[in-house]
A and B are shown apart, each in its own frame.
Chain A
Amino acid sequence: MSGPHDLGGSSGGPIDRSGHEVEDWERLADAINSALGSKGLQTTDQHRRAIESLPDYLELGYYERWAAATEKLLVEKGILSQAEIDEKAGEIERRWGGS
């Protein structure tokens, strides 16, 4: 079964070569990924599989995929529950949200 990532050889239209500044949350997503890896809680192979199986893969940006896949793996492994993640995300949103 080919996932949405398996695009080699298909025509994808023009490539956006404009620069992109790495945002703080993206650095954080990267750091969390490294930390989980060094603690043996997640491997690159598992993360890759989780990324490729995201239902909204094509709509997400690079680190959005990373974060969504990490969340999926942590729930799958029973390390965090979806409710715990949603609660914490809601708390952070209230603290840092625009309003």
Chain B
Amino acid sequence: MTEFAPGDRVRVRPAGKPGHVRTPGYLKGHSGWIEGVIGHFPSPEDLAYGLSGQPKRPLYRVGFRQADLWEDYAGATDDHLYADVYEHWLEPGGKE
């Protein structure tokens, strides 16, 4: 029961969200692909305030091209970065 499947193009939501967040700022607004579904977990962003974190949220491993993340990236074009991102931080789309 996930919105995204491996291979789907996704974009990390660019807008901030108040409070404790678990998505690093350098990914916001950037596009990548779903590498895999890690599982469903209580949201740590709610657990951080003593809440239940329910319902459990899908957590994905999301792949990004390093060259898409860093303007001056000088490494190989197929260098990738993988990050664990919760579903509520992702939206469909983003160019190849």
Q: Which residues of A contact B (CB under 8 A)?
A: 1-3, 6, 8-10, 43, 45-46, 48-49, 52-53, 77
Contacts and interface: CB of A to CB of B under 8 A. Distances in A.
Contacts of A77: 50
5 contacts: A1-B17, A2-B25, A3-B20, A45-B20, A49-B20
| Contact residues on B (Cβ < 8 Å of other chain), bracket | 10 to 19
B25 A6 contact: yes
A49 B16 contact: no
Interface stretch (B4-12, B31-39, B41-49, B85-93): B41-49
Given A8-B26, A52-B20, A46 B47 contact: yes
B20 A9 contact: no
A72 to B, nearest CB: 13
Given A2-B21, A8-B24, A8-B26, A49 B70 contact: no
Interface string B63-76: 00000011000000
Contacts, number: 39
A50 to B, nearest CB: 8
Contacts of B44: 45
B89 to A, nearest CB: 13
Given A9-B69, A9-B70, A48 B20 contact: yes
